[in-house]
Structure 1
Amino acid sequence: MNKNIRKINIIGTSGSGKSTFGRQLAAKLDIPYVEMDALYWKPNWQEPSDEEFFANLEKALQQDSWILDGNYNRTAPIKFAYVQSVIWIDYSFVRTLYQAVKRAIVRSISQQEIWANTGNKESFRKTFFSKDSIILWTLKTFKNNRVRYQALLNDPNYSHIHFVRLKSPTQAKAFLESLD
């Protein structure tokens, strides 16, 4: 990847490792890391209006450089107007599901606040016994996300964007090491 690329969106199914990779990439390139979930979620798991969310996103993308972690497909017109590169974390279904379950368990046990000043925490009930389960979300969206992201790579409307598809943790590690 060209080191002059300074506006990057990390995409992938929930649990794929977007945040971990995004933080590592931001540290490696010494540029700000922006987590879309942190822009989205309000205290007590309240959701903003699209107008509020889009305004928060627009403001975050006014910086000279950033690593943007997140999908939110309805934000494509906003983020793709700025982005120079999209990195798709496309690990196998089994790997992604394993990571989603592991993360949910760790978060449920630790009870750490997920996004600053929200009070939002994972719980076993929400994770395993709720229609809002992140694990259920991963199961429901994995296949459709693959189809959607593959189409994105081939969409002539986005030919100005440099796409990178990482299919394994080994490829992700090699990609990061190539930036030295």
Structure 2
Amino acid sequence: MTLLNELGQRICILGPSNSGKSTLATKLGEKLNISVCHLDQLAHIPGTNWERRDEKEFAADQDVFLEKESWIIEGNYSFCMPQRFAKATSLIWVDPNFLGCCFRYISRCIKNDRNRPGRLKDATNEFSFEMFNLILFKYPKIRQKHKAILSGYTFPLLYIYSMKGLNQYYIKWGLKR
């Protein structure tokens, strides 16, 4: 099991929607006293129904964040992975069962917690059938694309394939749930 100090000071977190990336990033940031960037918040316009920003502006904002000495950045957006991966000291890939991700998405929408990590500021809606489509049908193809991108990098990769495994890391690393 990977030790917390083995992750370094620039940590990327990948995984499907509703896999726990945002919460993990937030908890790691608190524990390690490192700034956290939720890419969904950079990629979308606050106060909308998750309307996308211009990709060049989004990528430029990500690149500004990457100039920090230490950071945790969570999200996918493969078009701007090379900039992240070039500076990363490690990557955590949270990749649990897709049905569990769907269940967590429904639960998240019902709770509508305005303080949940990674939530878009003043989002007008949490629920979208497109999100189910992404989790169930698009992400399996995206996963293969991510594997191909990752094959060119040598930083430590921690692959967590279940919520049980993720919870074991929360305990091992002393992260509060």
Provide TM-score, normalisation by structure 1: 0.81
Q: Is the 8 A contact 1:111 1:121 kept in 2?
A: no
Partner SS, residue 5 of structure 2: coil
Count of residues in Structure 1 that have an aligned counterpart in Structure 2: 167
Whole-Å separation in 1 of the counterparts to 2:110 and 2:142: 24
Matched, 1:138 2:135: yes
CA drift of 1:111 comes to 7.0
Query: Which of residues 9, 14, 34 is equivalent to 1:6?
Result: 9
CA drift of 1:70 comes to 0.2
- Give, as a single letter, the amino acid of the residue that structure 1 aligns with 2:62: L
Q: Runs of 4 or more off by more than 4 Å in structure 1?
A: 110-113
Pick the structure with greater CA Rg: 1
CA drift of 1:84 comes to 1.2
Deviation string, structure 1 residues 14-59 (Cα, Å, up to 9, x no partner): 1111111111222222211110011111142432222211110011
Tell me how large the CA RMSD over aligned residues is: 2.3
Distance 1:179 1:123, change over 3 A: closer
Query: Which of residues 79, 84, 92 is equivalent to 1:79?
Result: 84
Q: Which residue is 1:158 aligned to?
A: 153
Gaps of 5+ in 1: none
Whole-Å separation in 2 of the counterparts to 1:111 and 1:175: 26
Whole-Å separation in 2 of the counterparts to 1:111 and 1:136: 24
Report the identity percentage. Answer: 27
Whole-Å separation in 2 of the counterparts to 1:112 and 1:67: 19
Query: Which of residues 43, 49, 66 is equivalent to 1:40?
Result: 43
Partner SS, residue 3 of structure 1: helix
**Higher normalized helix content (fraction of residues):** 1
Matched, 1:21 2:21: no
Q: Which residue is 1:178 aligned to?
A: 172
Matched, 1:88 2:93: yes
Distance 1:112 1:67, change over 3 A: closer
Q: Is the 8 A contact 2:16 2:139 kept in 1?
A: yes
Q: Is the 8 A contact 2:35 2:72 kept in 1?
A: yes
The residue correspondences of 1:105-144 to structure 2 (distance < 5 A) are 105-107=110-112, 114-116=119-121, 119-122=122-125, 127-128=128-129, 133-144=130-141
Query: Which of residues 40, 57, 61 is equivalent to 1:52?
Result: 57
Whole-Å separation in 2 of the counterparts to 1:97 and 1:123: 13
